[in-house]
Amino acid sequence: MEKINFDRGLSSEALVPWALENAKHLVPEWFRLPVEHAKMKLDFNYGIDYIVYTDIGKIYLQVKSSERRAQIFRAKYAKSKYANYTALIVIDAHVRNAEEIAKRIVRAVEKIRNNLCIKRGQPELVTMVPEPSV
């Protein structure tokens, strides 16, 4: 069972650069491509999969293959020194559409970016990516 979950997690991670490359039109100017795969030490110690370079600095990205694994991640790293700089997304087995994945990534990173802009006294940099239509 753990092997299956580990493999699913790796495949979900691999979808990040693929989705962003194939849905570039959804990536805002402040979000610099390509994303950088985090070094093993950063992943092992803080659960960070990717580094996103933005106009205000680095924002980290963690990818999980289920909401349950996302909850475990939140509990484990809630007080990490990178917690306020880490966006978390879930890419479950049903999501394999580049645009949907890219939207999830951009929204999650944007939320962290907006919070950082407000904390830094730069509200003029706050942006709004449209929510998905239902």
- Flag whether pLDDT at 124 surpasses 70: yes
- Flag whether pLDDT at 115 surpasses 70: yes
pLDDT at 7: 45
- Flag whether pLDDT at 59 surpasses 50: yes
Confidence of residue 132 (pLDDT cuts 50, 70, 90): low
Three-class DSSP category at 90: strand
CB 91 within 8 A of CB 63: yes
Cis before 130 (ω within 30): no
- Flag whether pLDDT at 134 surpasses 50: no
